[in-house]
């Protein structure tokens, strides 16, 4: 475990009755708005494998600029992340909270801010979690997206997902989003073909190799968002 100076106080942990991390920052508008859902590891930060220390947080190039652009366009920015390292006993919510605080700090230095974060600690092979609960909350289940969409008043038909794994893209489809972008920023390039096969008349799938290309790839989101 990390030293006490490197973890957040337990009283601050926003856990639901289901054991899901759900945190919303700031005021939520009355009217529904467009949204951008982001996976965390491999999209916002480098995927180091069970990230548990703030000192290991490295933003992926273009992540802060993308979040700031969405902030400026009036698009709600939400992070949905599977955190099976908790089920595996590799770290706890205190360590997760410390990492989240450091991500927020690094984004903030570039004028970017996340509106909400949802994290699922469940894994079907660890911890004996209820199978139905695991399937609902853990991506590709839709639970985290649905919960943040409700909490942030996001119109899911005007919302997109950015992920680096096929499970991210499947979660977006299962939650009824307009579409998703498979972002080839890490080592999950094998997910590309599986993700692109999900493209349909009701769910669009696109691809990107750099985060700074996302606004151009999603003109219907960024160009039509309220200023």
Q: What is the total count of domains within the chain?
A: 1
CA distances from 109 to 5, 105, 112, 168 (A): 22, 6, 7, 27
- Please report whether residue 227 resides in a domain: no
- Please report whether residue 174 resides in a domain: yes
Residue 102 maps to which CATH number?
3.40.50.1000
Tell me: pLDDT of 8 over 50. no
State the pTM of this model: 0.92
Active site residues: 39, 41
- Please report whether residue 49 resides in a domain: yes
Tell me: pLDDT of 188 over 80. no
Residue 184 banded pLDDT, cuts 50, 70, 90: confident
Residue 148 banded pLDDT, cuts 50, 70, 90: very high
Instruction: List 159's β-bridge partners, or say none.
Output: 35
- Please report whether residue 44 resides in a domain: yes
Model pLDDT, residue 127: 72
Q: Which residues form the domain of 132?
A: 4-222
């Amino acid at each position: 475990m990390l030293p006490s100076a490197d973890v957040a106080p337990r009283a601050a942990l926003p856990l639901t009755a289901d054991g899901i991390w759900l945190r919303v920052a700031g005021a939520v508008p009355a009217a529904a708005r467009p949204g951008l859902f982001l996976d965390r590891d491999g999209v916002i930060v480098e995927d180091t494998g069970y990230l548990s220390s703030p000192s290991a947080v490295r933003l992926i190039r273009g992540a802060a600029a993308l979040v700031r652009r969405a902030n400026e366009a009036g698009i709600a920015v939400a992070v949905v992340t599977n955190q099976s390292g908790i089920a595996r006993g590799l770290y706890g919510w205190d360590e997760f909270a410390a990492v989240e605080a450091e991500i927020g700090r690094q984004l903030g230095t570039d004028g970017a801010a996340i509106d909400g974060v949802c994290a699922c600690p469940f894994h079907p092979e660890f911890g004996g979690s209820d199978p139905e609960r695991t399937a609902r909350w853990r991506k590709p289940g839709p639970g985290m997206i649905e919960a943040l969409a409700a909490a942030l008043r996001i119109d899911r038909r005007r919302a997109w997902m950015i992920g680096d794994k096929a499970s991210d893209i499947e979660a977006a489809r299962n939650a009824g989003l307009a579409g998703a972008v498979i972002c080839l920023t890490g080592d999950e390039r094998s997910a590309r073909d599986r993700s692109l096969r999900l493209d349909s008349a009701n769910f669009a799938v696109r691809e990107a190799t750099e985060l700074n290309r996302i606004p151009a790839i999603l003109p219907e989101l960024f160009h039509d968002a309220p200023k």
